Amino acid sequence: MKFERVSKDLEKVISFIKADEISDADKQVITEETVEYFDKYVSPGWLKYRKSVSTKGATVEWRDHGSICEGLYGEEFIDCLGGFGIYTCGHRNPEIVETVKAQLDHQALHSQELLDPLRGYLAKAVSDITPGDLEKCFFTNGGAEAVEMALKLARIATGGKWYISTVGAFHGKSMGAISMGGKSTYRVPYTPMVQQVQHVEFGKAEDARKAIKNLVAVGETVAAMIVEPIQGEAGVIVPPAGYLAELRSICDEYGVALIFDEIQCGMGRTGTMFRCEAEGVVPDIMTFGKAFGGGVMPITGIICRPHMWTDELVNNPWLLGSPTFGGNPVCCSAAIATIKYMIDNDVPGQCAE
């Protein structure tokens, strides 16, 4: 009987999803139930945090297009948050949505056994649009997961143990990613986290040099330095010119992998397809995400230079990770359409302007 009731409840929800028009009575039901269910089943804090819930009644978002979010009653909001950076191509970009719908018509997820072609096509495209000799791709589902893969890859490829990160950094909220984070607000509730992480001041390459030099001097090994080419969550902090190039030189000197986290500042957002291009610097590993899925599908990943993909990974393709949904066909189709749209419409140029 319980499952029958659940089925009946969900039948109603599916009817809302499929409806071209929703009656005022149903709009009121949706609004009231959304507030109730968020409070009871999602998080009471969400209702306090989201200002739109505490203004004139509750605003339930229902449609979107271009730069506009629409409420259930047709209210229009200019989206100045951009979903934390996912909507560089706008909401429900027609070209990207059309491609995703076409992919859904014949396959959504992959078998895990046969070769799914879109993953290969997408990996080549990412290699083609990234600087230098970045080549090997690994696709994930969220930004923190991409960072986790980058951190693991650095240890496998270099044999080092320590990580250097920066004060104010944001790299996600999974355990490894938040260990790299440089904001006490997010770190304190989870300490102790991943050990062997040292934070230095952002924008001061000499601080990174000293940290690595001192660790090596006492017999420690350093796997990677991870840095945002522009710090996002810290307040959009642009480092001084030459900072990234100096980090490249330091990492080369000590055999340390240089990781650029381009999840927020990449994909055209700062005037070049990836921010590191503006400085003419190629990392050993780069993470990407946010706008990579075109604001339609969730897909993130990493790309690395060939020498980082060691024989250990060739001999065990699942060693780095095996995300069930990573690089699935429908998400790859969105990313492929996004890259083409960004090139054809010079999105980096628009962002620069």
Could you read off the pLDDT of 272-304 as tens digits, one per residue? 999 999 999 999 999 999 999 999 999 999 999
Q: Domain for residue 135, yes or no? A: yes
Structural domains counted in the chain: 2
The residue segments making up the domain with residue 46 are 2-80
Nearest-angstrom CA–CA distance, 140 and 122 = 13
CA 11 to chain centre: 33
User: And the tokens for 47?
Assistant: 């209702």
Residues 61 and 159 placed together within one structural domain of the fold: no
71 located within any domain: yes
Burial of 239 (0-12, 13-18, 19+ CB in 10 A): buried
∠ CA 126-127-130, nearest 5°, is 80
Specify the 3-state DSSP secondary structure of 62: strand
Going by their DSSP bridges, the two strands 285-288 and 257-261 should be labelled as: parallel
Task: Residue 116: count other Cβ atoms within 10 Å of its Cβ.
Answer: 18
Examine the domain organization and report whether 48 and 108 are in the same domain: no
Contact between 236 and 257 (Cβ < 8 Å)? no
Point out the domain boundary residue: 33, 56, 80.
80
Are 64 and 18 within one domain?
yes
Which ranges constitute the DSSP H helices of 106-180? 117-129, 143-158, 175-180
What is the pLDDT at residue 58?
77
Q: Tell me the pLDDT tens digit for each residue of 75-134.
A: 999 999 999 999 999 999 999 999 999 999 999 999 999 999 999 999 999 999 999 999
Phi-psi region of 32 (alpha: psi -120 to 50; beta: other; left: phi over 0): alpha
The H or E element that residue 226 is part of is: strand 222-227
Contact of 275 with 230, CB cutoff 8 Å: yes
Considering the domain architecture, whether residues 184 and 99 belong to the same structural domain is answered as yes
CA distance 334 to 297: 6
Mean pLDDT, the chain, as a whole number?
A: 95
Rounded mean pLDDT, 54-77: 86
pTM: 0.95
CA angle 276, 281, 283 (to 5 degrees): 85
Tokens 């998080």 belong to residue: 43
135: phi then psi, degrees, rounded to nearest 5: -145, -50
**Structural domain contains residue 297:** yes
Residue indicated by tokens 């995703």: 100
Position 56 pLDDT exceeds 70: no
pLDDT category at 136 given cuts 50, 70, 90 is: very high
Residues 343 and 226 in one domain: yes
